[in-house]
Amino acid sequence: MIFNRVPFFTSLHKVLLVIVCLMLALAAIAPSDPTAITLTPGLSVSTDKAVNEPLSPPENKPALQDETKAQWLVKPGDNLSYIFQQNGIPASVLHNVMQADTQYLDLETLQPGVRLGLDLTDDGTLAQLTLYRDPARKITYTRQIDGTYQHQEQQAKTYWVSEVYRGDIKGSFYLSARGVGLEQSQIALISQLLSYQLNFRRDLRAGDHFTAVIGREMTGQVETGQTRIESVSLQRRQRTHYVFQFKGHYYDEKGESITPAFLRWPTSKRYRISSAFNKNRLHPITKRRAPHHGVDLATPTGTPILSTGDGVVARIGNHPFAGKYIDIDHGGSYKTRYLHLSRIQVKRGSQVKRGQRIALSGNTGRSTGPHLHFELHIDGRPVNPVTAKIPTAAAIKPQDMAEFSALREQKMAVMEQAASMSELQTAENSRDF
């Protein structure tokens, strides 16, 4: 019997075998990560989070040459010079950024936990520095054509909520207030406000009861870290002392001012104004136009500088352009700032009285000669200290008494009855990022 021979391994089989071998080879070299993405040349993918999404703390690492953005989470011991060095940014750029910050001092003391954003060009030039001061505020320093940087602040919408703190005197007022959760700066201001009505060492007794309503600024569901003292009561035996904040000033239950009037000038005598408050001044050294947020007084070096009102020393420092300086928080809406000092004579956190000597004037920082730069800020904004309305010791005006009475009754009810209270007031004139 004769059989026809049929080819077992045909040309088709050979083609199929080659295809299978190629597939096995591709599988062997393909990435094992199922989420890996292969990009075609020219396609860029941005992984930036949306502006309104919360950002997780970034890892502190320098921006590489081909990166355009870097994030830096400030740690204890960090300063701007170190951060710039780690990201390859030269000292000349640091100089220009600090120069743009002279009138604001926002970069002077970077607190641990604060975020910085560094926008770099392909050649490593700093195009923009962003300081996320708190969840509601960010400040940008944007590079200009001439290599200088421009300061700009942006603010998200904010509102205020109120919290009630209650306690009994057990030992000192300070320890008792700390025991219920009040912060040191709040205790210092409350102590100063109540000290106009009683002597803490002589008049307080164990068992005396105190209540404080503290306002906390919010954006969305997040605290910004800004607080204010809205009202205080201290009940001792047969008498209760009250403090109410109204239109940036503090009054008792009768509407009488409980703080002394501000001084107009921070010196015992008036000195010539060598440079006035000006939002677009031509700088005598840089020859560039920039805001001048205070007045310069032609004080000789060593002139005693006085606090213009009662308050708490919020900050002291030594800036390369502003020189030695002091910030004082006067409670309510008012803060003052003193620059180019030769010697600082108070400490951060200390209480000061109106007319108390806090420093000696000088010529530190960048200056054309000995002088004092003096600023007054109301509601966080610099105003002309020569013409602005400053706190007086007068009682509430008759036309404002009805509004004050309504606020007083509300606050008294909160302090007497409420365990806590929120959304008491809403900030106005707020802005989005």
**CATH number, domain at 416?**
3.10.450.350
Indicate whether 38 belongs to any domain. Answer: no
Q: Are 211 and 254 members of one domain?
A: yes
Q: Are residues 280 and 339 in the same domain?
A: yes
Is residue 280 domain-shared with residue 341, that is, in the same domain?
A: yes
Q: Which one of 101, 120, 155 terminates a domain?
A: 155
Residues 398, 252 share a domain: yes
Q: Identify whether residues 74 and 131 lie together within a single domain.
A: yes
Residue with tokens 């007794």: 205
- Final residue before a domain boundary, out of 136, 155, 174: 155
pLDDT of residue 232: 97
In the prediction, which pLDDT does 135 show? 94
Q: Does residue 283 sit within a domain?
A: yes
* Domain match, 166 and 137 both: no
202 within domain boundaries = yes
Point out the domain boundary residue: 104, 133, 155: 155
Q: How many domains does the chain have?
A: 3
Residue 43 belongs to a domain: no
Tell me how far apart the alpha carbons of residues 63 and 126 are, in angstroms, rounded to a whole number: 11
- Is 31 domain-assigned? no
Task: Check whether residue 280 and residue 358 sit in a common domain.
Answer: yes
User: Range of 330's domain?
Assistant: 273-383
The pLDDT assigned to 422 comes to: 41
For 106, residues 6+ apart whose C-beta sits below 8 A from its C-beta are 131, 133, 139, 151
Between CA 337 and CA 328 the distance in angstroms is: 6
Structural domain contains residue 191:
yes
CATH number at residue 341: 2.70.70.10
Rounded to the nearest 5°, which phi and psi values hold at 234? -135, 110
| Residue 181 domain-assigned (yes or no) | yes
Please tell me the distance from the alpha carbon of residue 211 to that of residue 128, in angstroms, as a whole number: 46
- Residue 172 sits in the same domain as residue 145: no
Residue 139 domain flag: yes
pLDDT for 308 equals: 96
- 3-class DSSP string for the chain: CCCCCCCCCCHHHHHHHHHHHHHHHHHHHCCCCCCCCCCCCCCCCCCCCCCCCCCCCCCCCCCCCCCCEEEEECCCCCCHHHHHHHCCCCHHHHHHHHHHCCCCCCCCCCCCCCEEEEEECCCCCEEEEEEEEECCEEEEEEECCCCCEEEEEEECCCEEEEEEEEEECCCCHHHHHHHCCCCHHHHHHHHHHHCCCCCHHHHCCCCCEEEEEEEEEEECCEEEEEEEEEEEEEEECCEEEEEEEECCEEECCCCCECCCCCCCCCCCCCCCEEECCEEEEECCCCCCEEEECCEEECCCCCCEEECCCCEEEEEEEEECCCEEEEEEECCCCEEEEEEEEEEECCCCCCEECCCCEEEEEECCCCCCCCEEEEEEEECCEEECCCCCCCCCCCCCCHHHHHHHHHHHHHHHHHHHHCCCEEEEECCCCCCCC
Q: Are residues 287 and 363 in the same domain?
A: yes
Q: Are 306 and 376 members of one domain?
A: yes
Regarding whether 132 and 100 lie in a shared domain, the answer is yes
Which pTM does this prediction carry? 0.74
Question: Scanning the structure block, which residue is given the tokens 């989005």?
Answer: 432
Q: How far apart are CA 217 and CA 231, in angstroms?
A: 16
pLDDT per residue rounded down to tens, the chain (433 residues): 333 444 445 565 555 565 656 665 555 544 443 333 222 222 222 333 333 333 334 455 554 444 578 899 999 999 999 999 999 999 999 999 999 999 899 998 888 999 999 999 988 899 999 999 999 999 999 999 999 999 999 999 999 999 999 999 998 999 999 999 999 999 999 999 998 888 888 889 999 999 999 999 999 999 999 999 999 999 998 899 999 999 888 999 999 998 888 999 999 999 999 989 998 766 666 667 778 899 999 999 999 999 999 999 999 999 999 999 999 999 888 999 999 999 999 999 999 999 999 999 999 998 889 999 999 999 889 999 999 988 877 889 999 999 999 999 999 999 988 764 443 433 333 333 4
Domain shared by 350 and 418, yes or no: no
